[in-house]
Amino acid sequence: MEDRTIHEALERAAGEGRAVALATVIRTRGSTPRHAGSKMIIDPVHGLVGTIGGGCGEGDVIEAARDVIASGAPRLLRIELMDDVESWSPAVCGGVMEVFLESVHGTDRTP
């Protein structure tokens, strides 16, 4: 089901001739909320489709997506889900995720 909604979001953006960002978890170590292969679309017009786990880590990916869409240059992000003494959230997993973030443009058909 997740792949279908991701594909539909990519098709909608392509039909509208717009770029969106595609985030893909490519590697995990330790405890993480999602596994390798999880995807999320960051669409400046229609919002988010899918999830890579929520929380601050997902927030970092959303923030980086703005630059990736604007520049077209992909990025590899390392999201550390470790306990942070400055964090207000007790919901930390203790693992690390590597997330590949790429811009998908209007005519691309990347599922």
pLDDT of residue 84: 54
Residue found by looking up tokens 């604007």 in the block? 70
Give the model's confidence band at 89: pLDDT under 50 very low, under 70 low, under 90 confident, else very high.
low
Backbone angles phi, psi at 28, to 5 degrees: -135, 155
pLDDT of residue 54: 81
* pTM, two decimal places: 0.84
* Per-residue pLDDT tens digits for 29-84: 988 889 999 999 999 999 999 999 888 889 999 999 999 999 999 999 999 887 65
